[in-house]
Amino acid sequence: MDTKLYVIPLSHAAAAARLMLEYKAVRHERVELLSGLHPLFLRLAGFRGGTVPALRSDGRRIQGTTSISRFLDELCPEPRLFPQEPAARRRVEEAEAWGANVLQDVPRRFFRWALVREPGVLRLLARANRIPLPGLAAVMMKPLAIYFARLSDAGDETVRRHLAELPELLDRADALVEAGVIGASVPNAATFQIAPSLRFLLNFEQLAPLFRDRPAERFARELLPEYPGPVSQVFPAAWLDLGSLPSRD
Ligand SMILES: N[C@@H](CCC(=O)N[C@@H](CS)C(=O)NCC(=O)O)C(=O)O
């Protein structure tokens, strides 16, 4: 079987697909594309959309985490990403959909917003992409960063709204862990979808205190002990009306 997984560094969606392939023990080649130019490379590789993760398996092209999870269960049914029992399957599908449609956007928007405002975050991205002279690369990548922030609605207003919603989102993740729908020892499509988003959020140093003592933190760190970063002080004080979180000024 000739399988390639197209990813970019730091992508939590790509990390979700990698975890699924590893769980299934599907031998594959990981193709790391350059962040920002990846939509172009993906189209040149024959994909319709411009997002990672993208999977090519014996000529079939599958894009997006939720399509990849279903394709993988079709390709090699055991071990399963979706339980067979209908009620259990429904719970995993609902949690996966929440992870993909609600939670996933939050760290993506935080990161894209931070890329535009904080040169250190652009340098982090340049280093993760192994671009030489990250300082210079960061300057050159700025227009692309602005483009992607607009594309994903990563403006001030949305970021402030997500910051305010964060405790509620973490409560929901905790509840899923506590109910055993997801968990480090509950490998399924929802677990692999949700853990990378939580792990990416944990990488924002100012947000880490929000996670303290939460099942969601233990869950994310257990599945993904390492994540490129960290992203230090980026959110202004006035936006962090979340108790005693550290702020930028
Ligand atoms: N919901 C999709 C989202 C994938 C996605 O947006 N991936 C980002 C990287 S994390 C990307 O490639 N974005 C490119 C773009 O927005 O054009 C999934 O779960 O696969």
- Residue 34's closest CA among 110, 121, 120, 126? 126
Nearest to 50 by CA among 99, 1, 6: 6
Q: Is the dihedral of CA 43, 45, 51, 54 positive or negative?
A: positive
Residue at a domain's end among 31, 49, 75? 75
Read off the pLDDT of each residue in 95-111 and give the average, rounded to a whole number: 98
Atom of ligand 1 nearest to the CA of 108: 10
Residues 190 and 237 in one domain: yes
Q: Partners of 30 in the beta sheet?
A: 5
Average pLDDT over residues 128-132: 92
Would you place residue 137 in the very low, low, confident or very high pLDDT band (cuts 50, 70, 90)? confident
Q: Which residues line ligand 1 (CB under 6 A)?
A: 11, 13, 38-39, 50-53, 64-65, 100, 104, 108, 151-152
CATH code where residue 11 lies: 3.40.30.10
∠ CA(80), CA(83), CA(87), 5° rounding? 170
Instruction: Confirm whether 49 is domain-assigned.
Output: yes
pLDDT value of residue 248: 60
Best mutation site among 35, 48, 52 for ligand 1, i.e. most ligand atoms within 8 A of its Cβ? 52
On whether both 216 and 95 belong to a single domain, the answer is yes
Q: 227 and 183, same structural domain?
A: yes
Place of tokens 């702020």: 247
Which of 180, 183, 174 is closest to 88 using CA atoms? Answer: 180
Residue 81 within any structural domain of the chain: no
133 & 42 share domain: no
What is the domain extent for residue 57? 3-75
**Which of 214, 222, 109, 235 is CA-nearest to residue 170?**
214
> Has residue 94 got a pLDDT over 60?
yes
Determine which helix (DSSP H) or strand (DSSP E) holds 207, and give its type and residue range. Answer: none
Q: Does 113 share its domain with 228?
A: yes
Phi-psi region of 236 (alpha: psi -120 to 50; beta: other; left: phi over 0): beta
Give the count of domains, the chain: 2
Atom of ligand 1 nearest to the CA of 51: 12
- Tell me how far the alpha carbon of residue 196 lies from the centroid of ligand 1, in angstroms: 13
* Contact assessment for residue 171 and residue 215, using Cβ atoms and an 8 Å cutoff: no
Which residue in 22, 28, 56 sits closest to 42, CA to CA?
56
- Domain assignment present for residue 80? The answer is no
The pLDDT tens digits for 112-126 are: 999 999 999 999 999
67/118 same-domain check: no
Q: Which of 31, 48, 75 is the last residue of a domain?
A: 75
- Asked if residue 196 and residue 142 are part of one domain, the reply reads yes
Give a yes or no: residue 83 inside a domain: no
The rounded Å distance from CA 243 to ligand 1 centre is 32
Nearest-CA residue for atom 16 of ligand 1: 51
What pLDDT shows up at residue 242? 59
- Looking at the fold, whether 239 and 170 belong to one and the same domain comes out as yes
- Kindly give the number of the ligand 1 atom that is closest to the alpha carbon of 193: 19
Examine the domain organization and report whether 93 and 165 are in the same domain.
yes
Does 100 lie in the same domain as 201? yes
C-alpha 172 to ligand 1 mean position (Å): 23
Asked if residue 231 has pLDDT above 90, the reply is: yes
Residue 51 C-alpha to ligand 1 middle, in angstroms? 4
92 and 71 in one domain? no
Mean model confidence pLDDT for the chain? 95
Distances (CA, A) of 116 to 6, 123, 164, 229: 25, 11, 21, 16
- Atom nearest to 151 CA in ligand 1: 16
- Is 80 exceeded by the pLDDT of residue 247? no
Pair (126, 223) in one structural domain: yes
* Nearest partner of 11 among 82, 74, 105, judged by Cα: 105
For residue 14, which atom of ligand 1 is closest to its CA? 10
